[in-house]
Amino acid sequence: MFISDAYAAPAPAAQDPILGLLPFVVIFVLFYFMLIRPQMKRAKEQKKMIEALQKGDEVITAGGLLGKITKVGEQYVSLEIADNVTIQVQKQTVQTLLPKGTIKA
């Protein structure tokens, strides 16, 4: 006969399940070191800074207000933003602690 017989291709070898999960593990490790870990470090430093606030510190709030702390409470701080103008803001809104004398400069 002129037509040759057709044979099925050999079955592919079974792939190791660990090799199938390897890309996901690598992506998770990259996310941890590039996104999660730095964010946790930043949050820890922010919490430490908020706990260390004291009277006389110069700060900037999340809303952009610049002022000097005149009173520290458990949840709120009083900021003097101008002569004889004092406001109360939540401690969590304090974004940055400035070096002493920044407001005068």
- Residue spans of the domains in the chain: they are 15-52, 54-105
- Distance, C-alpha 43 to centroid of its chain: 6
Residue 58 confidence (pLDDT): 96
pLDDT band, very low/low/confident/very high, at 3 (cuts 50, 70, 90): confident
Q: Are 59 and 96 in contact (CB under 8 A)?
A: yes
| 54-105 is classed CATH 2.30.30.60 | yes
Residue 105 has pLDDT above 70, yes or no: no
Cα radius of gyration rounded to whole Å, the chain: 30
Report pTM: 0.69
Q: Model confidence over 20-50: pLDDT tens digits?
A: 889 999 999 999 999 999 999 999 999 999 9
